Amino acid sequence: MPNVAELSFLDKDLGQRWDAVREDFWGDLKSETVRAVKRLLETSMEVEVQDLLGRPRWGHSMSQTGYRNGYYRRSLLTGFGRITDLSVPRLRSGGLRFKTIGRYRRRTKDVDAAVQEVFLAGVSTRRIQEAMAPLFGEREMSATTVSSITKSLNVQVQAYHHRPIADVYRYIFLDGIYLKAKSPVHSRRRCVLVAYGIRSDGVRELIDFKLARNGESQAAWECFLTNLRNRGFRGAQAELAVLDGNVGLWNAVDMVWPHLRCQLCWAHKLRNVANHLPKRLQKPCMSQAREIYAAESRGLAVRAFQRWERIWKPIAPEAVRCLNRDMEDLLPFYDCPCELWVKLRTTNAIERIFREVRRRTRPMSCFTNIGSVERITYAIFSRMNRIWREKPLKITQNS
């Protein structure tokens, strides 16, 4: 006679039973998949040994040149889970290298590729460990393991720094960002020189970056920009370079791309202006100064500046003199398509990208070494470039 509990079809009971069936099903499926992969790997290695020796197991040949030497056991972490007690054939002569499994490899390439993709998507090393634990187990994917896998990105980083650069950029942004990294003795601020561009087809791209030994000196910028030029970016289509007020950077751009017009970053300039104001006057003065670059045309911007100058010159002559000195370099963005004015008047695009870099490293007091600066910066750049590739800006001809 059937048990009364077996005849119960209440929603609660059905839900519990379905959860149990589903758990058993997926658990059995995973274990069976691991066993199937184990059999496939062992069979593949046996075939490789047979092809090498020219005879099957227990077979003999008059011209045989090698002999088997039993098996040894090893484990391997795969995308389906860990395979334990894997039988690997040996030869008496040794030196057997399988195409199926790399020598001394503890993980298959798809596991490393998955960790690298998650890292490139913007997930920190510690978070990768947590995310991979349900798939591989906590002991299988430690923070040390994740770190060693991400270090293999060094090859990709170097390829990124040496790839050819197409001469397709219409607007280029250059800025130096400071990050904190450890040295063998103590931690210090490291300057990262960044080039960001908008291509003729509207695609935005972080072109390259470089850790500068001597900060934002003219020599450092010249070295960085000359490298970009030698790799193909000659600036034939470039119309405007957006820069901060660093004199060394302006001189370097004049040296490498002498024909290129330059736009001074409004955000950097207004910070300089604010330094000439008492704190109680900064908010009203800066609020009126922003009306200059928010004007709908160059002529209206000039008139807005003249109004601002009449009001503030008696009150803060040094602040007015600071802005007046660079007005000519603050207005070139008006000669570009109006839908890009907001983007072209500052280098904020680069600042926003490095907010993400700092977010990734906030749990750390600073970068552990220069290599980690390179890898994390490259990871953020790669992710943003993939996103922007699918979302190009609409650029019209200059009016």
DSSP per residue over 152-210, as a string? Answer: TTHHHHHHHHHS---S-EEEEEEEEEEEEEE-SSSEEEEEEEEEEEEETTS-EEEEEEE
Residue 310: per-residue pLDDT: 93
Strand 81-91 with 169-182, pairing: unpaired
Confidence of residue 68 (pLDDT cuts 50, 70, 90): confident
> What are the extents of the domains in the chain?
1-101, 107-152, 165-264+366-399, 266-346
Give the closest residue to 323 by CA, choosing from 272, 275, 288, 287.
272
C-alpha 191/C-alpha 114 separation (Å) is 31
- Using an 8 Å Cβ cutoff, are 89 and 71 in contact? yes
Residue 89: per-residue pLDDT: 80
pLDDT of 399 over the 50 cut: no
C-alpha 389/C-alpha 23 separation (Å) is 40
Confidence of residue 87 (pLDDT cuts 50, 70, 90): confident
Query: What is the DSSP-derived secondary structure letter of residue 325?
Result: T
C-alpha 230/C-alpha 208 separation (Å) is 13
- Using an 8 Å Cβ cutoff, are 243 and 256 in contact? no
- Using an 8 Å Cβ cutoff, are 174 and 243 in contact? yes
Mapping DSSP to helix (H, G, I), strand (E, B) and coil, where does residue 229 land?
helix
Give the closest residue to 193 by CA, choosing from 164, 151, 161.
161
Any idea which of 50-59, 324-333, 385-394 has the lowest mean pLDDT? 50-59
What is the per-residue burial (b if ≥16 Cβ within 10 Å, else e) of 335-352?
A: ebbeebeebbbbbbbbbe
Q: Which carries the bigger pLDDT value, residue 187 or residue 330?
A: 330
Q: What phi and psi values does residue 65 have, to the nearest 5 degrees?
A: -120, -5
Helix and strand numbers, DSSP H then E, in the chain: 15, 7
Residue 57: per-residue pLDDT: 67
Q: What phi and psi values does residue 116 have, to the nearest 5 degrees?
A: -65, -40
pTM listed for this prediction? 0.71
- Using an 8 Å Cβ cutoff, are 200 and 168 in contact? yes
Confidence of residue 368 (pLDDT cuts 50, 70, 90): low
Confidence of residue 11 (pLDDT cuts 50, 70, 90): low
C-alpha 374/C-alpha 151 separation (Å) is 10
**How many Cα atoms within 13 Å fall on the side-chain side of residue 277?**
24
Give the closest residue to 240 by CA, choosing from 200, 277, 271.
200
Mapping DSSP to helix (H, G, I), strand (E, B) and coil, where does residue 108 land?
coil
Mean pLDDT of 210-222: 87
Mean pLDDT of 18-35: 62
CATH number of the domain at 165-264+366-399, out of 1.10.10, 3.30.160, 3.30.420, 1.10.287?
3.30.420
Any idea which of 130-139, 231-240, 268-277, 329-338 has the lowest mean pLDDT? 130-139
Q: Which long-range contacts (CB under 8 A, 24 or more apart) does 298-307 make?
A: 298/331, 298/334, 298/335, 301/331, 301/334, 302/331
The C-alpha angle 246, 310, 322, rounded to 5 degrees, equals 15
Residue 152: per-residue pLDDT: 76
C-alpha 150/C-alpha 222 separation (Å) is 31
Number of neighbours of residue 359 by Cβ within 10 angstroms: 12
What are the tens digits of pLDDT across the range 157-191?
899 999 999 999 999 999 988 877 655 555 667 78
pLDDT of 366 over the 50 cut: no
- Using an 8 Å Cβ cutoff, are 281 and 308 in contact? no
Any idea which of 23-32, 162-171, 326-335 has the lowest mean pLDDT? 23-32
Residue 21: per-residue pLDDT: 54
Which residues, other chains included, contact 347 with Cβ-Cβ below 8 Å and sequence gap of 6+?
173, 174, 175, 242, 243, 244, 265, 267, 268
Stated length of the chain = 399
Confidence of residue 365 (pLDDT cuts 50, 70, 90): very low
Q: Which carries the bigger pLDDT value, residue 51 or residue 167?
A: 167
Residue 243: per-residue pLDDT: 94
Q: What phi and psi values does residue 22 have, to the nearest 5 degrees?
A: -65, -40
Give the closest residue to 293 by CA, choosing from 325, 329, 260.
329
Q: Which carries the bigger pLDDT value, residue 36 or residue 94?
A: 36
